[in-house]
Each structure stands twice: as C-alpha cells, then as structure tokens.
Structure 1
C-alpha cells in the first residue's frame, strides 16, 4: 500500500522492509501549454552537506555514481505521455557508506533564456517504487508553491544509520539555475 506524503513528510523505507535494496525514483509532470525540457539531477552528499566528488553529481551527462549505487535512466526532453517522465535507479545497499543524502532536483533546461518555470507544469510528482515487488512505496504530489521556480528539490533519500534509508518529501523551489546548485554543493 502506497503512502501519500505531504510537504516535509517522510517515510523510513527500510524499517518495515529490511530486505529492501533496489528502488526506483519516478519523476513525472504534465505540461500545461508548451513543451519544456526538464532534467532530473541527483547530488550525493557526505556528512558535511557537500558532494562526495564531482562524479557524485548525477545528471544527463553523468548517469551513474562511481559505486554504481545510483543510475539515471536518461533524459526525457518532452515530458509527453503518461507515467514517469524520468527514472533513477538506486541500490540502497550498494551506495557507499560515506553518502548520507541523495538530493533529487528537477530543473527547467535553459529556463532564463526561454522564460520558463514550474508554473507551466501541472501534476508534478515524485514516487518511490520497490523494484523487486513492483510496488509503489510512497508518492509526493508537488503543490503550486514552487510555480515561480526554475528548479525544485522534489525530495531526498537520507541515510538514518548504516543500514536504513528514509525518503523525505521537500518541494522547495529556487531560481539559482543548475550552476548555482552545483556551486552550493561543491
């Protein structure tokens, strides 16, 4: 049974299912008017809140972490169609122990140049699915709070101890651009 999270809500992914190892993170949205190119990006952070290395910034030009624990499944440039628009696979047991958080952002490609933002979307969500059971664990539907934003932190995976992970729904928007995000976590 899937849990519907609210902004700021969290779920311990491994407490109820200690054998859970492989999940996918599905990101989806519907376009209201014109086509937008949205990009999912992940920042794998250590205890200091910074990237473990440059290779721990996962996006369409760097699809996997060095340990193979997180793998982006590629860029969907149109967002057309039903279901998840971009997918990230995560093997929770394979993610290196130094990793404390995995931030999941979605950014509007060339937002400033094209005057695009999240206000041109509807029905944006992030969901967590157990790969082996093929069951949705949790879903978070973004509200309209971030309609002004050019990038949104949809949520994060957070290590609660050596063997346990939780998912936190965030839905926090900003307008710093992808380079601004990279600068924040370097």
Structure 2
C-alpha cells in the first residue's frame, strides 16, 4: 500500500522497506488541450544545499551522474505514456558520499514563450517505487496550487545518517529550468 502525501509531508524511505537500495522516481501527467512538455531533473546536492558539480545535474541533456547512481531514462515530450511519462532511477547506496540531498524537479520546456503553466495539466504526480519489489512507497498528487507556475521542486530525498527521507516540497516558481539551475548552483 502506497502512502499519499500532502504538501510538506515526509516519510523515512528505509523504514518502509526491509532494505531499500534502488528507487524509481516516476512523473506523470495528462494533457488538457495544449501540448505541454514537462522535463524531469535531479540536482545532487552537498551539505551546503548546492550542486556538487555541474555533472551532478541530471536532466535530458545529461542523463547520468558521474557516479552513475542517478540516471534519467529519457525525455517524453507529450505526457502520452501509459504509466510514468518520465523516469529517473536512483541507487541510494551508490551515490557519492558527499551527496546529502537529491532535489527532484520538473519544469515546462519553453513555458514563457508558449504561455504554458502547470494549470494546463491534469493528474500530474510524482511517485517513488522500490525497483526490486516494484512496491510503490509513496505518491504525491499535485493540486491546483501550481496552476500559474512553470517550474517546481516537487520533492527532496534527504540523507540523515545512513537513512534517506522523502520530503514532498512542492516549491513552485515561474523561472523555468534556468531558474532551478540558478537556485542550486
């Protein structure tokens, strides 16, 4: 059984499973008329909350982190996949020891020029799945609070000691992908 989170909610990922090693982060959405292209990205951050190095920004133009622990499975421009439209895989045990947090983000490609925002979508979600058991650990359904925004830090996976915690951040902005990059550089 999956845990549905509200904005600001968190869970200890390790306590949900006997052993959690690899997770799938799935993002999905449905179009409501105009074709909106969402782009998933992960920023691997150090203790200071900043990107470890440019190579630790995983997105459609950099599909793997240098330690190969985080991998983006490719860009879906239409939201037309049957299940998850974009997938990011993370091996929590293989992430460089300097990593303290993964910021999981979604932005809308060329949103300002196209007049796009999250309000043009329906059934947008993020979910975390244990790859080995295929058990959905948590799902965060987005609400209408981001209807005018085009970039969101959907969630953060934070390390505390040897355990990882999922936090549904839902921090929105109208800064597109570049604004997210600026936030974590």
Give the TM-score of the pair, scaled to structure 1: 0.96
**1:166 alignment partner, SS class:** strand
Q: How does 1:42-121 map to 2 (within 5 A)?
A: 42-121=42-121
Q: 2 CA distance for matches of 1:46 and 1:81?
A: 33
Q: 2 CA distance for matches of 1:135 and 1:158?
A: 20
Q: 2 CA distance for matches of 1:98 and 1:63?
A: 20
Q: Residue in 2 aligned with 1:130?
A: 130
Q: 2 CA distance for matches of 1:6 and 1:96?
A: 30
Over residues 18-66 of structure 1, what are the superposed CA-to-partner deviations in whole Å (9 max), with x where a residue is unaligned? 5210110000111111111110011111011110000011100001111
Consecutive aligned runs of 4 or more in structure 1 exceeding 6 Å deviation: none
Displacement of 1:152 in angstroms is: 1.1
Instruction: Could you tell me which runs of 5 or more consecutive residues in structure 1 were left unpaired when the two chains were aligned.
Output: none
Q: 1 CA distance for matches of 2:180 and 2:36?
A: 20
Number of residue pairs matched by the alignment: 185
Over residues 60-117 of structure 1, what are the superposed CA-to-partner deviations in whole Å (9 max), with x where a residue is unaligned? 0001111111100000011114311100001010011111111111100000111111
Q: Residue in 2 aligned with 1:171?
A: 170
Q: 1 CA distance for matches of 2:151 and 2:128?
A: 20
Deviates more, 1:57-66 or 1:176-185: 176-185
Instruction: Could you tell me which runs of 5 or more consecutive residues in structure 2 were left unpaired when the two chains were aligned.
Output: none
Q: 2 CA distance for matches of 1:151 and 1:70?
A: 21
Q: How does 1:156-167 map to 2 (within 5 A)?
A: 156-161=156-161, 163-167=162-166
Displacement of 1:15 in angstroms is: 2.5
Displacement of 1:17 in angstroms is: 2.6
Residues 16 and 137, structure 2, Cα contact 8 Å, conserved in 1 = no
Q: Residue in 2 aligned with 1:183?
A: 182
Report the aligned-residue RMSD.
Answer: 1.0
**1:148 alignment partner, SS class:** coil
Q: 1 CA distance for matches of 2:147 and 2:82?
A: 21
**1:14 alignment partner, SS class:** helix
